[in-house]
Structure 1
Amino acid sequence: MRLANTVIAAALACTVALPVSATARPALRDVPEIENTLFAVAIADAIRDRCDDISPRVLRALNTLRKIKAQANDLGYSDDEIRAYVESDTEKARMRAKGEKFLAQNGVSYDKPETFCTFGRAEIAKSSAIGVLLRAK
């Protein structure tokens, strides 16, 4: 019995000491605090790009991006993994499709640029995650 307890204790010690492997972590898109924040930045960027009456809060956006990078690093993702996620054509296309769907559900139409302004001003008024990244001119 004593030998069994020693073996179990040794096995547990080894397990605790092992680093979490990359395969044990979810994809960055599946980490809500990363995905949702990047999504807000992407939507804010689309709004400021299509509405001349709204400008970006550049320093706030850069600070937000630094924070989520630090969060990802704290979760064990390397800078290379983060860069690969952000620069991935597949992820960009997925985020674009998600954004287009979200905007359409909120009455925003690419055929009507004024809808970007209306939505952007509403987000600014709410001080939402999107709105805090924008400023009405």
Structure 2
Amino acid sequence: MFRLTQIALALSLTVTAGMAQALPPLGDNPRVRAEFLSAAVGDEIRKNCPTISARFFRVMARAKELEDYALSLGYTKDDITRMRKDPANKAELKRLRDTYLAQNGVTPGDAESYCRLGLAEIEKNSLTGWLLRAN
């Protein structure tokens, strides 16, 4: 019986390890990508519009929810940190953010264009808007 338990445990560990290796890159997860993009857009708006600020408690709560989501999929905190700090992920997120801003009428250096988009996001109650506050 003891030997059977050892074999079952070994098989279980092998299957679990195989499943962990089978996870796609965290940055490829649609929810993770969308939420990081929303946060990046909101951050750029708040940095460039003097009348809009971040709702930092909401931002922190949403970040914790997203971390819990990633952990529930089998990713580790190290996976999350690696994704956040990866230069290629950062560059892609910046490209997506800048594309979104441009498609929504934002002109770099024009604070009013950032404010217009920020207010529109707040009005829509998009995730970006939910993370922002008009002062």
Give the TM-score normalised by structure 2: 0.86
| 1:18 paired to 2:10 | no
SS, match of residue 127 in structure 2:
coil
Deviations 1:18-57 (A, max 9, x none): 1143431111121111111111111111100100100100
Where has structure 1 moved over 3 Å in runs of 4 or more?
A: 20-23
Aligned equivalent of 2:111: 113
Task: Report deviation, 1:111.
Answer: 2.9
Letter in 2 for 1:32: P
Aligned equivalent of 1:39: 37
Identity of paired residues, percent? 34
Which blocks of at least 5 consecutive residues in structure 1 are unaligned? 1-13
Letter in 2 for 1:18: V
CA RMSD of aligned residues (A): 1.7
Aligned equivalent of 1:133: 131
SS, match of residue 80 in structure 2:
helix
Give the TM-score normalised by structure 1: 0.85
Instruction: Give distance in 2, aligned partners of 1:26 and 1:35.
Output: 13
| Total equivalences in the alignment | 124
Aligned equivalent of 2:99: 101
Letter in 1 for 2:88: T
| 1:72 paired to 2:93 | no
Task: Report deviation, 1:113.
Answer: 1.8
